[in-house]
Structures are given as C-alpha cells and as structure tokens.
Amino acid sequence: MVYFQDSENLEDSIPNQFNPIFKTDDFLSIVVMGQDTETVVPFNLPILGSPSVSSGYQTGMPATAGYLVDSEGYIKMPVIGRIKIAGLNRQEAIQVIEKKLVDFVSNPVVNIQILNYKITVLGEVKNPGTFKIPNERITLLEAIGLAGDLKITAQRKNILVIRESNGKRQEFRIDLRKKDWLTSPVYYLTQNDVVYVEPNATARYESTLLKIGAPLLISITSLIVTTITLIRQ
C-alpha cells in the first residue's frame, strides 16, 4: 500500500511550525522563575509527592500540581488571580502571565507545559489506544506509527480526524494516498484529537459474511454429523 502517490515536491507541502493552542480542560504545569528565588515561591505550586528510594536508587517521578483550564477558559494562579488562557498559544500565554508578574517578581521567566496532552487512534490499526505525547507535538503519520501502522484492511483514502475546539466538534477526512492533506489543519494533531481508521469494503464484507454464515455453517455441520450417525446405526 503506497502512501503519497503524488509525492513530487513533497518538501514544499509540509508546514514548518506548530504551536498548540490551550483549550478547556487542559491541565497545565506553570513554573515561574526569577532573579530572586524567594520572590517566586508564592507563584509555584508545591510538589505533591516525592520519589521513593530503594537500595540507594531513586525511583518514580514526583507528582506536580497543575492548573486546570475551566469551562470559561480561565486558570487561577496564586496572588495574581484568574487569567484567561484558552485560545492562546504558549508564547501568548507566557506574555500575559509575565506581564501580571512584573509587579511582584524582577525579570520573571515563565514555562508552561500541557500535562495531559494525548491523542487517540481507533479502528483498523495494529495497536489502537490513547497515547500521551510528552513533547506536545505529533503529526498524523506519527500517531498512526504509534498505533503500529494501518492494517491491510484499513481504508486509507477516508481517515477521520475528530477535533473539539471552542466547544465545537470538527471532522476532517484525509486521503493518505495524496499529498494535499499535508497542508490541512490536521497534519499536526492537537491535544485530545481522535483518529478513526475505517475498515475497507473487503473487511466489512467478510465481517458480515462471518456473522451470517457461522451459525448456518454450524447448523449444516451438525445436521451432516447427525445424518451420518443415524445411517451408521
């Protein structure tokens, strides 16, 4: 099965940058740094747990508290209060927070990370499931690769990507045989995107045939065995 069958000048089609947009229900880690470490303490959430030590080795990762973007798109930080985050990219959100911090922290530096960045791949792939993406950047092809690639029975010309944004659901249909999808909004997947790969016509037919034919085949086999048994008697 050949992807990108019209792959001339492929390098001209691929977007170069991706910057995730924060959404409702994102769970964010926000770390504030500054010249004076004591002044930034009130703006950083505490670590909820510590790694365990076994045989002299540190195991596990410390759990970090975070900020959940509420249904109105806000988070609430210590001291500076509510901040509208939804709809902003990382750099825009950093600028908004740093602007509010300048009255309290000298030369503040803010780092934001999405802790629950994940995508889901379902359907005709080898290993369907939900995958956490630590670097917050994944393409549709990488997501399919995480799921073990498409099965031979996958519908490659009609892959569905479901995306929720601003309370609305969007659906995109992708044909992997062509390169024009490389410029589509779903070349890079965003947090909580769902990729569904439909079975092709052969797989659907075989599934229906098995469902209908299996009971009939069992009945016929039972009848034949019964008939042979009666004749022998």
What CATH code is carried by the domain that includes residue 187?
Answer: 3.10.560.10
Asked whether the predicted pLDDT for residue 233 surpasses 80, the reply is no
105-136 per-position pLDDT tens digit: 989 999 999 999 999 999 999 999 999 998 88
Range of the domain at 195: 10-16+117-201
**Of residues 37 and 160, more confidently modeled:** 160
Q: What is the pLDDT of residue 201?
A: 73
| Residue 66 covered by a domain | yes
Which pair of structure tokens corresponds to residue 137? 């950047």
**pLDDT class for 171, splitting at 50, 70, 90?**
very high
Distance CA 134, CA 113 (A): 9
For the ranges 49-58, 144-153, 170-179, which has the lowest average pLDDT? 49-58
CA 57 to chain centre: 33
Q: Is 104 exposed, middle or buried (0-12, 13-18, 19+ CB in 10 A)?
A: middle
Residue that terminates a domain, selected from 114, 138, 158: 114
Stretch 46-66: mean pLDDT: 56
Distance CA 154, CA 198 (A): 6
For the ranges 24-28, 79-83, 167-171, which has the lowest average pLDDT? 167-171
Does the pTM exceed 0.85?
no
| Residue 175 covered by a domain | yes
Pair type for strands 67-68 and 27-33: antiparallel
Residues 124 and 165 in one domain: yes
Give rounded-to-5 percent helix, strand, coil for the chain.
30, 30, 40
Residues 142 and 89 in one domain: no
| Residue 220 covered by a domain | no
Pair type for strands 194-197 and 118-123: parallel
Q: What is the CATH number of the domain that holds 92?
A: 3.30.1950.10
Distance CA 27, CA 109 (A): 20
CA-angle at 146, arms to 145 and 148, nearest 5° = 65
| Residue 121 covered by a domain | yes
| Mean model confidence pLDDT for the chain | 82
> How many structural domains compose the chain?
2
Stretch 189-217: mean pLDDT: 74
Decide: helix, strand or coil at residue 7: coil
